Structure 1
Amino acid sequence: MAKHLTWIKRFAFALLYIGIWATVSPAQGFCPQRIAYIEENALSKLTLPTMRQIYQDLGCSSKFIALPGRRALSSFNQGQIDAEAFRLTLVEEKYQRPFLRSHHPVLQLYSYLWVAPDYKETDQRPFGYVKGILWQEGYAKGKRFSAFHNTTNLLKAYNSGKIAGFLASGTAIRLKTEKNVLSPPPIAFQQVHSAPLYHYTQEGYRKFIMLFDQHIEKHKPFAEISEKMQVPAEKSRLITN
């Protein structure tokens, strides 16, 4: 009888243990744990505090990891990260795993070709772009552009006069100009790209994406940033060579 009671106690303890973990596991599975964002990127730095706050509001204590654009993509494809803070829909043809995209865009990206104030069409210097930023790679292909590993190196090349201009979002350059990082301050020569940026996760986070969308729709946390995204451009012609 004593042995029988001992067995019952052990069985009850096992059920309690399973019950505890049954309540914990769904909560853990709800949250993407590792979220990538593009390193040395002004827009990432600007939006990251807001993205962190959204995750906290949804009950997630996730880790945000800075990676180069291409590394973030390969890490997503290898299952090493669970989400990307924001990407253009261009990324979808690069994903090799099932994914989920937020229904509502995080931001509307307005991007420009920026040039030095003394730029002339006879200028033989190349323009610059950052590897791994898909819209920049697409625009620069076949044109007189040099590739850089990150925005920091790109802007150093501009400041030293090695490039005549570069591709970047309006918000990024507005922030750099306000901080006197760029000398001389560049001119928005032409708007070359406009598209929504979405939050992406691996396939298993459908409930999270649903609540993420509800939060975005209700609180509009990126509204103030979005208002600063667009700037007037000087020209309307394409740079074709």
Structure 2
Amino acid sequence: MYKFLTVALIALISSFSVNAQSNSSYCPQKIGMMQGDPLAIPAKEILVKIYKKLGCNIKVVPLPGTRGILHFNKKLVDGELYRLSLAEKAYEQTFVRSLVPLFKLTNAIWENSDYNISNKKPLGYVKGIKWHEEYILKHFLDMQNIAQFYSEDKMYEAFNRGAIGGFLSEKQTVKLLMDDGRLSVSPP
């Protein structure tokens, strides 16, 4: 996966290299990153290295989902590490989307393989992640069957403890968590 991130980020930055060479005085100062997002950490490391090669020392600021959008709109950060296109509707400032996607994400519901747990425990989601919130609003009339978290890390910890029967996340994140041994149960 790190190899994929490297290729995607190099392609992303190479599309900006002409601008960086022609106007070397511009470097973004702060880039927002989704706090607690397992995919953001390796992407951040790669992005910082690439910008450093371009002569830019950037600071990557971890922010909760919705706060990242607010910081961008208030010009407290110069951009965001990555966002789903769904979040772009909330941008009030002009932004440039990379020509090359950083990730191809597949969103899904992940459940404990034990039916007694997955059927009886609530579904976890993270407040501030737009696709989580939209999914919950569209599909859950009974709000007692859901559990709200303020970070992905806390949601995954609750899943490991058996406090929730499933959670919303995307495929690459779950694969990364499984590869790192951070999920105690392999969720289908």
Settle same-fold status: TM greater than 0.5: yes
1:115 paired with 2:111, answer yes
Cα 1:122–1:177 change in 2 (3 A) is: closer
User: 91, 96, 99: which is aligned to 2:95?
Assistant: 99
1:143-162 per-residue CA deviation (whole Å, 9 max, x = no partner) reads 24322100111011111211
- Report the residue type matching 2:170 in the other structure: S
Which structure has the greater CA radius of gyration?
1
Quote how far apart the aligned CAs of 1:48 are: 1.5
- Report the residue type matching 2:24 in the other structure: A
Q: Pick which of 102-111 and 149-158 moved more.
A: 102-111
* CA–CA separation in structure 2 for the residues paired with 1:136 and 1:89: 14
Quote how far apart the aligned CAs of 1:116 are: 0.5
Structure with the larger strand share: 1
Structure with the larger helix share: 2
How well do the aligned residues superpose, as a CA RMSD in angstroms? 1.9
Alignment of 1:1-241 (within 5 A): 26-28=23-25, 30-119=26-115, 123-141=119-137, 142-143=139-140, 144-187=145-188
Q: Is contact 2:118–2:165 with CA below 8 Å preserved after alignment? A: no
Higher relative contact order (CA 8 A, sep 6+): 1
1:28-67 per-residue CA deviation (whole Å, 9 max, x = no partner) reads 3x21110010111111013222222222233211111111
Quote how far apart the aligned CAs of 1:121 are: 9.8
Q: Is contact 2:36–2:151 with CA below 8 Å preserved after alignment? A: yes
What is the aligned length?
161
1:115-165 per-residue CA deviation (whole Å, 9 max, x = no partner) reads 101126982321111122212221122424322100111011111211110
Cα 1:98–1:179 change in 2 (3 A) is: closer
Q: What's the TM-score, normalizing by structure 1?
A: 0.62
- Report the residue type matching 2:152 in the other structure: T
Q: Which runs of 5+ in 2 are unaligned?
A: 1-22
Cα 1:78–1:122 change in 2 (3 A) is: closer
- Report the residue type matching 1:179 in the other structure: D
* CA–CA separation in structure 2 for the residues paired with 1:80 and 1:151: 23
Quote how far apart the aligned CAs of 1:168 are: 1.2
Aligned-residue sequence identity (percent) comes to 34
Q: Which runs of 5+ in 1 are unaligned?
A: 1-25, 188-241
Q: What's the TM-score, normalizing by structure 2?
A: 0.78
